């Protein structure tokens, strides 16, 4: 089983042998859509957590300024780091830092985005 993530970083020399896929990613980033969000947060996250070299799985929202980073700690425990408006994002796996505003530069959220988010939150209770 394999997926094609939006962004993937590998630093493992063994991945040079594979032209069309990588087996040992360090970082995987997915931009969430209304259609894929449930799968990206569910089965895909579970499958990715089985990868021996994966250190971070990052989800970027299209509905609002929100980035979620699932980071694997040394003991194999996955911890969620959530970044919102005004946050500095840190991707430890590649030692990268940037403001969330930079990721969302030139993104304009529509009224439909806000309404869809409100409906989603309301349905959760």
41 within domain boundaries: yes
Nearest in space to 64 (alpha carbons), one of 109, 99, 103: 109
Domain that holds residue 115: 7-124
User: Is residue 20's pLDDT more than 90?
Assistant: no
Nearest C-alpha neighbor of 67 from the set 94, 46, 86: 86
Q: Is residue 14 part of a domain?
A: yes
d(CA 44, CA 25): 14
For residue 69, is it within any domain?
yes
What is the overall mean pLDDT for the chain?
90
The answer to the question of residue 94 being in a domain is yes
What pLDDT digit, counting tens, does each position of 86-107 carry? Answer: 999 999 999 999 999 999 999 9
In a domain, 2, yes or no: no
Q: How far is the C-alpha of 12 from the C-alpha of 106, rounded, in Å? A: 34
In a domain, 115, yes or no: yes
79/34: higher pLDDT: 79
Q: Model pTM?
A: 0.86
Position 101 in a domain: yes
pLDDT higher than threshold 90 for residue 58: yes
**Within a domain: residue 15?**
yes
Q: CATH code at 94?
A: 3.90.1570
- The count of structural domains within the chain is 1
Q: Which of 69, 72, 70 is nearest to 103 (CA)?
A: 69
């Amino acid at each position: 089983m394999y997926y094609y993530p939006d962004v993937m970083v590998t630093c493992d020399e063994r991945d040079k042998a594979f032209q069309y896929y990588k087996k040992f990613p360090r970082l995987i980033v997915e931009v969430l859509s209304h259609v894929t969000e449930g799968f990206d947060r569910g089965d895909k996250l579970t499958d990715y957590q089985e990868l021996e070299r994966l250190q971070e799985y990052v989800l970027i929202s299209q509905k609002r300024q929100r980035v979620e980073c699932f980071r694997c700690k040394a003991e194999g425990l996955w911890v969620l780091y959530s970044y919102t408006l005004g946050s500095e994002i840190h991707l430890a796996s590649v030692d990268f830092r940037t403001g969330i505003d930079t990721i969302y530069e030139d993104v304009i959220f529509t009224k439909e985005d806000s309404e869809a988010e409100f409906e989603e939150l309301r349905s959760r209770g």
